[in-house]
Amino acid sequence: MSEANLPNPVTLRIAVWLLAGEAAALGVLALLLLISDLRGGATSQQGAIGVIGYVLVLGAAFGLLSWALRGRRAWARGPAIVLHMLMLPLGVALLSNRNLLGVAAVVLSLAGCVVLLAPSTRLAIGRD
């Protein structure tokens, strides 16, 4: 059986679902930010549009990477690792403010890096 016909290893499936879940969470966050801004929570309209746009672009990136890894596209692994590594300092900063979102960001960041760096994930996408 060729490598392409083998079932996805557990680590790759976890990475795909993790990225998809993060994309969905960012979509929900963008919606919540929009609702808050429409109710008068934004200090400036330009800032609100920028933040919502940034969250949407980031969510789209996570979604695209999830889709690409599901299709075993090797190019998607590097950017997915980088996005998870960039979440780590954000999580640490949130932890310093005793924010529970910091715990989630750190855990998701580390979990994402572990499953994406796993040898079984690397082999499944054709990186020998």
Looking at residue 118, its pLDDT comes to: 94
Alpha helix locations (H) across the chain? Answer: 10-36, 45-70, 77-96, 100-117, 119-124
pLDDT per position as a tens digit, 61-104 = 999 999 999 999 999 999 999 999 998 988 888 888 778 888 99
Length of the chain: 128
Looking at residue 13, its pLDDT comes to: 95
pTM of the model: 0.87
Q: CA-CA distance, 36 to 70, in Å (whole number)?
A: 34
Give the start-to-end residue ranges of the domains of the chain: 9-124
Q: pLDDT band at residue 40, thresholds of 50, 70 and 90?
A: confident
In the predicted model, what is the mean pLDDT of residues 37-57?
86
Q: CA-CA distance, 41 to 43, in Å (whole number)?
A: 7
pLDDT higher than threshold 70 for residue 33: yes
In the predicted model, what is the mean pLDDT of residues 92-117?
90
Looking at residue 1, its pLDDT comes to: 44
In the predicted model, what is the mean pLDDT of residues 101-124?
93
